[in-house]
Amino acid sequence: MLITAAAMFLIGIIAFKLTERSAVEGNINGVKAVIAALEGSYLKSGDLAGGAEFLKGVLNPGAWGIIELGGRRVYFDTGASGKVQERTDPLLLQAKTSGNTVVGFEGANFPPFTAFNGLKIAAPVKSPGGTGGAVFVYQPLAPLEESLLLNRRLISLWIILFLVIITLFGFYILSRRIVRPVHELIKTTEKIGAGKFYENADVGKVKEINRLYDALRKMYGEIEGGKKKLGDKIAELEEANAELRLVQRELIAAEKLASLGRLSAGIAHEIGNPLSAIRGYADVMTRAPEMDDEKRASFLKNIQDEVLRIDRIIRTLLDYSRPKSVSLRALDINEAAAKTAEIVNSQGVLKNVGLRLELTPGVPLIEADPGQLSQVLINLILNARDAVEGGGEIVISTSAGAGGEVTIAVSDTGPGISPEIRDKIFDPFFTTKEPGQGTGLGLSVSARIVETFGGRIDVKSEPGKGAVFSLVFPTAGDYGNAESSRN
């Protein structure tokens, strides 16, 4: 509409200029015709005064001019009733010297906008005797301006009516072919957002809008297809998840049964041997009532030892399932490691096995029970001794980690732990020792004790390169947070 309005404005200006030019040229030609009539009728006879009266009668009110011929000059003014004012114009001299008719205008001229107040024409003339002269006429253009103003108003009215018609027609076309189909497309997108497709959309016959509607239809079909596929995948995932939960429950139940089986087998194995011995001693004593007192006392002593062995196994099992109460206090792990090494060395249990300390000075304190920590270290040392088989070295080291943790490590130079059994070594009653050499509860009880201190046991081992058991504890200030997190 803006482009159309600008085009109509330019067309209007062109129409104004053409109308103005036509009117001005008509006036110029009319004045020239008057001058030609003056020359043919009055100047041939030298009647300058008659010619002046003739011009006053045919020119517009307000016109004035000069007739000069043979050295005589006559002035005329259609608006003067008395003596005529004598005045001149440069165009008169220009026409005399050039011998050509000269046309000029009085008023403002700022193309394409002009406002002419009057028309000036100077034309050379000659008398029959060959005397030269010139006629100057000033013609007011007020009547012409009135006529032009009327024409301008008519053209402006035509432009306005034309713009209104174009606007209404354009609005009708836009509304019918663009706006309404766009509203239909908006309804379609809203329906798509609600999960449906607007099938009754009338998008008209515009090619691009129809292509857009077809693209929306295709997109909706792809969305619905994707939703269906997604629903199928979700159903499959839910079914698989249900199966996984079922398998998980079955695995947990199987693991519980396996743990119970291992626990039962361990208890049966560990208690079965002393019970068999007790039963054997009792049978012998029953069948031999005449047994002498010394031998009977020896059998009773053996029965007591086996009973004590059963009691020790049961107490260890109770310690595993219900740990003793602990008395935590700030503890220096370097001091605890040194005292434990001294106890082990004093008992003489490390035959042909070296025990070396690598203690890092200034290690932060931890919160622990000294007796139970020593029990854990002694258990790890004895396991390491059994691993090196009477020849090798055991190292107890301490260190402080960057994350505020403190570590006590017990490493050996034994054959290491195979990957197949590494995940089982903390299971109750799991042991690689010969029957009667161990209960399989040492590492399980040790792991439970370390957990009560807010720590953990890490194991690193490769076959043929020994094993490292690391006890990792929070520092004394972080124990409360570690305990809360563990709980």
DSSP 257-271: HHHHHHHHHHHHHHH
Is residue 188 domain-resident? Answer: no
Distance, in Å, from the CA atom of 297 to the CA atom of 302, rounded to the nearest integer, reads: 9
Domain final residue, candidates 142, 159, 176:
159
Looking at the structure, tell me whether residues 315 and 338 fall in a common domain: no
Tell me if 244 is assigned to some domain. Answer: yes
Q: Is the pLDDT of residue 397 over 90?
A: yes
Q: Regarding predicted confidence, which is higher, 38 or 191? A: 38
Based on the fold, state whether residues 26 and 70 are members of the same structural domain. Answer: yes
The b/e string for 392-422 (b: 16+ C-beta within 10 A; e otherwise) is bebbbbbeeeeeebbbbbbbbbbbbbeeeee
Q: For residue 330, how far is the Cα from the chain centroid?
A: 51
Strands (E), 376-446: 392-400, 405-412
Query: Are residues 8 and 113 located together in one domain of the fold?
Result: yes
- What's 259's domain CATH number? 1.10.287.130
Q: Greatest CA span in the chain, whole angstroms?
A: 199
Tokens of 86: 């004598």
CA atoms within 13 A on the CB side of 304: 6
Q: Which residues touch 296 (CB under 8 Å, ≥6 apart)?
A: 285
pLDDT (tens digit per residue) in 106-124: 876 666 566 677 888 999 9
The enclosing domain of 134 has a CATH number of 3.30.450.20
* Tally of domains within the chain: 3
* Residue 267 shares a structural domain with residue 406: no
**Residue 312: what are its φ and ψ, rounded to 5°?**
-65, -40
d(CA 162, CA 243): 78
Same domain flag for 436 and 381: yes
The pLDDT, as a whole number, for residue 487 is 41
Do the domain assignments include residue 456? yes
342 and 303 in a common domain:
no
Residue 140 has φ and ψ, to the nearest 5°, of -65, 145
Q: Is 0.75 surpassed by the pTM of this model? A: no
The amino acid present at 423, given as its one-letter code, is: D
Alpha carbon distance, N-terminus to C-terminus of the chain = 77
- Identify whether residues 272 and 361 lie together within a single domain: no
Q: Determine the length of the chain.
A: 487
Quick one: pLDDT at residue 485? 39
User: pLDDT tens, 261-313?
Assistant: 655 665 666 677 678 778 887 888 888 877 888 888 888 888 887 788 777 66
Last residue of a domain, one of 294, 322, 350: 322
